[in-house]
Structure 1
Amino acid sequence: MAKQMGSIHRGEMDQSTDPKHRQMEEVQAPAVGLPSYTSKTDTKCLYCDREDSAEHTLISCPRWTSQRLRICETLGRETEALTPASVVEGMLDTAEKWGAIQECIIDIKKSKSVELAGGDG
């Protein structure tokens, strides 16, 4: 019979000592993620009529080619080799790559939000 454990307490020793991990913990996830667009009722991409998703927006939608090229340049990859896993791997590689990729994602997020709202930026 398994003994029930008490509550687990986190202490100073539970903190990450790796600066790369500390920096990631300081960055708020919503700042780097693509938002869910509640004003859009269908699931089709506004720009290419394919199924819309964060992966589609970042990896394959033609509307975001310039941002995707910046990400590929940061990662040292061809666009055909860009995958969600390669983006995450690149972001975790260095703080510089994290910042450059985050900037591209924020650019996409802001532009897409403005365009969904019917604005011109």
Structure 2
Amino acid sequence: MFKLPPTQALTGHGSFKTYTFKIGKTRDASCVYCGEEDSPRHTLFSCERWAGIRRECEVGIGDVITANNMVDYMLQSETKWKEIERAMTRIMTTKEQDERRHEGTRNN
């Protein structure tokens, strides 16, 4: 599995429709899973598609992850960094695989 750094999620340059719409790669910024605006904040903290992964991460660090506390937790310990990085990697990797599959079916 290709391991993505948290930088992609933190900068918003990645498989987020708000970004791909901005650069002209997609026609809109709607999340393919729920229809909300697909921003990094939405993907990482509120989209129900990723709730299970978020819950596992929160159990691992012992608290609810939010946009306001994520970086603080990442800097607290290597264990928390790895737990959050693992969750982000799982989300982003799956999201990119889904996107490639969707593009493949659209082009066939």
Q: Same fold (TM over 0.5)?
A: yes
Amino acid at match of 2:73: G
Q: Percent identity?
A: 31
Residues 50-97 of structure 1: per-residue CA shift (max 9 Å, x gap): 11101100100000011110221123124xxx3112111111110011
| Contact 1:40–1:116 (Cα < 8 Å) also in 2 | no
Q: How do 1:98-109 and structure 2 match up within 5 A?
A: 98-109=81-92
Residue 31 (str. 1) matches residue 5 (str. 2): yes
User: In structure 1, what is the equivalent of residue 62 of structure 2?
Assistant: 76
- The alignment yields a C-alpha RMSD, in angstroms, of 1.8
Q: Distance in 2 between matches of 1:62 and 1:50?
A: 11
Q: Distance in 1 between matches of 2:80 and 2:88?
A: 12
Residues 8-65 of structure 1: per-residue CA shift (max 9 Å, x gap): xxxxxxxxxxxxxxxxxxxxxx611331453433100110101110110010000001
Q: How many residues align?
A: 87
Q: Distance in 1 between matches of 2:45 and 2:66?
A: 7
Q: Distance in 2 between matches of 1:94 and 1:87?
A: 12
User: In structure 1, what is the equivalent of residue 53 of structure 2?
Assistant: 67
| Contact 2:15–2:95 (Cα < 8 Å) also in 1 | no
Q: Distance in 1 between matches of 2:26 and 2:98?
A: 11
Gaps in structure 1 of 5+ consecutive residues: 1-29
Aligned to 2:68, what secondary structure does the other structure show?
helix
Q: How do 1:100-119 and structure 2 match up within 5 A?
A: 100-118=83-101
**Which structure has the bigger radius of gyration?**
1
Q: Distance in 1 between matches of 2:63 and 2:85?
A: 17
User: In structure 2, what is the equivalent of residue 44 of structure 1?
Assistant: 30
Structure-2-length-normalised TM-score:
0.71
Residue 54 (str. 1) matches residue 40 (str. 2): yes
Aligned to 2:26, what secondary structure does the other structure show?
coil
